[in-house]
Structure 1
Amino acid sequence: MQHKKVGFKEIALRADVAISTVSHVLNGTAPISPEVRARVLEAAGQLGYLAKRREKAAIAVLRSILLAVPSDTLPHNEFNLFSWTLLSTLMRECERRAIRVIPIEIDRPHLSGERIVAEARAAEVDGILLLSEDRRDVLSDIAASEIPAVLINGEDHEMQIDSVTPGNRFAARYATNWLIEEGHRSILHLSWEGRSTIRRRRDGFLDAFRANGLSLDTAHVHLAEGYLPDQGEAAMKDWLASHDGLGGVTAIFCAADNLALGALAALTKAGLSLPDDVSIVGFDGVAIGELTTPSLTTVSVPLEHMGTAALHLLEQRIVNAAQQPPAHRLELGCRLTIRNSVKRLV
């Protein structure tokens, strides 16, 4: 049986609007009220038209977004290169596609999920992007609003909204497994009590020891006060003081490049030679790792792809709204960038 071809006329009949209105909504050629626009998109989705157009990348379903970000990601400095790189590539993609971006700082005092939803409704945006947020109440409020939303670099433990994140646990396991293959058995994981995405890196570190049948007694975890280089330096200095040196550790796997920079400084000040006395690996892959001495081996996160992936998830959520699909969790693969900070022992 041959299916009838669906076009603007059929969508117009279903949405009870003029054909020209359908054309303006689907091609983004004129401003249309949110109510009418939603009606047209719903009709087009129900008739299967959106999925066909989306396959050809020929529909402008995203016109504006609310971008909720932590305040420390906004100023560009040498310590927030992870967030800044992610955001800058996202903003360039939005500019290329003529998507209006309305920023809001999610860690302003008293900024609840309810307030974010209210701001999104007032601005009449098509969707919400949240960066590095995992507060349960905030995510619950946004999910309940039914405004399309995607969480970037965060975890929604109840899987209520779509999310895109690096494969933190897998990447940390891969990097630690590589260190083990290089002959290292007593490895220090330098981390901090960050959000769940950081805890996944610790999980992956321990996974590698279990997978290789090694005792967790030599999988050391040492916590810094935070992720900044001076906090990494203080934590490394504390480890050296309390263990009368390295304490048998031959490699250090840091949960962030910033911590690795601090650890490098502390080790150098203690008179240790890298990588001869101890090897070190970072995580994030920010450009500054190329400039250290020795140059830093690190897990490179695909920061330039995360924003685009989030926009794609947001589009899919809008296009397929009529089907009410379950939340998607997208993890992007990371790669190990090998430089000069690791010595092979076998």
Structure 2
Amino acid sequence: MKQKSITIREVAKHIGVSIATVSRAISQPQRVSKKTLEKVQKAVDELGYRPNLLSQNFRHKRSNTLIVLIPNIENLFFAQLIRGIESVAQQAGYNVLLGDTQDSPLREDKFINLVETQQADGIIQLATFNPSISLLPTTEIPLISAGGSANTPYPTIRIDNAGAAADIAEHLIALGHQDAAIITGLSDDQNTYERLKGFRRAWQAKGLALDDKQIVAGDYSLKSGYLAGKEIIHRLPETTAIFCFNDEMAMGACKAVREAGLNIPDDISVVGFDGLQVGEYNEPPLTTVQQPGRLLGEQAAQYLLQWIEGNKPADADIIVKHQLLVRKSTGPVQKG
């Protein structure tokens, strides 16, 4: 259920002062007494009120700074997005502040506060989405989601995650695979949900089973792919293909397969997701879905700058084409 936004009227009523007094304390603190300022600040903190600075004509100047919220700065795919954002921002005379949130809503809130207090002009949220952001006034905080899912209240630039995962399923089916295992991303990540939905739909459309036991949770890291790969080989020896929800986990799974004395792709095919350049140098080169990360970043920055200039994007969900890159980590099921 969406939390009710606290109004300035409720703050004023809570401490028994006028709305004008609260407004002055927020916008011109030097014009109120120290005692009143402390009362207002305490009420603001207790009630969770967010001063709506952007609608009060206080933006007389810009900071020329964009914030990029990154859930995991070690994720290689995000580097592609950031490169695209940086190129557009620099051409427009903007600086980029990278906010490594470590998947923490509290850390995200601190960066969001920089926009609310005019220390930054807008935000690009990479991949995952903090549900608490949906409580912000969406018409006033310029924020674009890039590389994530459509399940956000803000404009989104993304690929069709479900469609891309379905392409992978159809590729494996065409090679004769009937026993697949999946290494997912984080359980609360919308991209995980979309990719699983797309793969399952295409797989089951051909009458093939995909039970929960064939799905192993990862966290998008190399290590989680390696550990999940070892689990699959040990627990599901009939598996002929492993679909990993990013390239880093796929490379970890490849290591597990090789350590087990199995051949890729003769014994087990492995597929990734993202299209990282490093996947070309995996052994063997990795079959994957390529997300155009730099393009996603460039378009996100362009749309955000337009919004900052007063032109909010009319299209709330912009889909960029993906591409299935078939390399040597997938092959036909071996007979016998």
- The TM-score bracket by the shorter chain reads 0.7 to 0.9
TM-score w.r.t. the length of structure 2 is 0.72
The equivalent of 1:197 in structure 2 is 191
1:161–1:327 CA contact under 8 A, matched in 2: no
The equivalent of 1:317 in structure 2 is 307
Q: Distance in 2 between matches of 1:337 and 1:104?
A: 31
3-state SS of 1:283 partner: coil
3-state SS of 2:224 partner: helix
2:128–2:191 CA contact under 8 A, matched in 1: no
The equivalent of 1:139 in structure 2 is 134
3-state SS of 2:253 partner: helix
Instruction: Tell me the CA shift for residue 122 of structure 1.
Output: 3.0
The equivalent of 2:50 in structure 1 is none
- Equivalent of residue 298 in structure 2, options 271, 287, 308: 308
Unaligned runs of 5+ in 2: 1-56
Q: Distance in 1 between matches of 2:210 and 2:301?
A: 43
Q: Distance in 2 between matches of 1:176 and 1:84?
A: 27
1:64–1:127 CA contact under 8 A, matched in 2: no
Partner AA of 2:122 in structure 1: G
Which has the higher mean CA deviation after the structures are superposed, 286-295 or 308-317?
308-317
2:69–2:123 CA contact under 8 A, matched in 1: no
The equivalent of 1:281 in structure 2 is 271
Q: What does 1:194-343 correspond to in 2, within 5 Å?
A: 194=187, 195-211=189-205, 213-217=206-210, 221-243=214-236, 246-247=237-238, 249-318=239-308, 321=311, 328-343=316-331
Partner AA of 2:250 in structure 1: A
Q: Distance in 1 between matches of 2:221 and 2:313?
A: 39
The equivalent of 1:22 in structure 2 is none
Instruction: Tell me the CA shift for residue 220 of structure 1.
Output: 6.3
Q: Distance in 1 between matches of 2:282 and 2:108?
A: 40
Q: Distance in 2 between matches of 1:219 and 1:343?
A: 25
**What are the superposed Cα offsets for residues 206-253 of structure 1, whole Å, 9 maximum, x if unpaired?**
021133x3232479632244222222111111122223xx22x22111
In structure 2, the CA distance between the partners of 1:238 and 1:92, relative to structure 1 (3 Å rule), is same
In structure 2, the CA distance between the partners of 1:89 and 1:271, relative to structure 1 (3 Å rule), is same
2:68–2:96 CA contact under 8 A, matched in 1: no
In structure 2, the CA distance between the partners of 1:234 and 1:36, relative to structure 1 (3 Å rule), is closer
Q: Distance in 2 between matches of 1:313 and 1:267?
A: 43
Instruction: Tell me the CA shift for residue 173 of structure 1.
Output: 0.6
Q: Distance in 1 between matches of 2:72 and 2:294?
A: 19
2:65–2:96 CA contact under 8 A, matched in 1: yes
Which has the higher mean CA deviation after the structures are superposed, 192-201 or 167-176?
192-201
Q: What does 1:107-186 correspond to in 2, within 5 Å?
A: 107=102, 110-111=106-107, 113=109, 115-141=110-136, 143=138, 146-155=140-149, 157=151, 159-186=152-179
- The alignment's C-alpha RMSD in Å is 2.9
Which has the higher mean CA deviation after the structures are superposed, 124-133 or 226-235?
124-133
Match status 1:69 vs 2:69: yes
In structure 2, the CA distance between the partners of 1:263 and 1:93, relative to structure 1 (3 Å rule), is same
The equivalent of 1:24 in structure 2 is none
Q: Distance in 2 between matches of 1:276 and 1:234?
A: 21
Instruction: Tell me the CA shift for residue 345 of structure 1.
Output: 4.2
Instruction: Tell me the CA shift for residue 126 of structure 1.
Output: 3.5
TM-score w.r.t. the length of structure 1 is 0.71
Match status 1:98 vs 2:88: no
Q: Distance in 2 between matches of 1:185 and 1:219?
A: 15
Partner AA of 1:98 in structure 2: G
Instruction: Tell me the CA shift for residue 326 of structure 1.
Output: 6.0
Unaligned runs of 5+ in 1: 1-32, 38-61, 74-78
2:165–2:198 CA contact under 8 A, matched in 1: yes
Instruction: Tell me the CA shift for residue 316 of structure 1.
Output: 4.4
The equivalent of 1:17 in structure 2 is none
3-state SS of 2:133 partner: helix
Percent of residue pairs bearing the same amino acid type:
26
Q: Distance in 2 between matches of 1:184 and 1:277?
A: 11
In structure 2, the CA distance between the partners of 1:271 and 1:103, relative to structure 1 (3 Å rule), is closer
Q: Distance in 2 between matches of 1:109 and 1:178?
A: 37
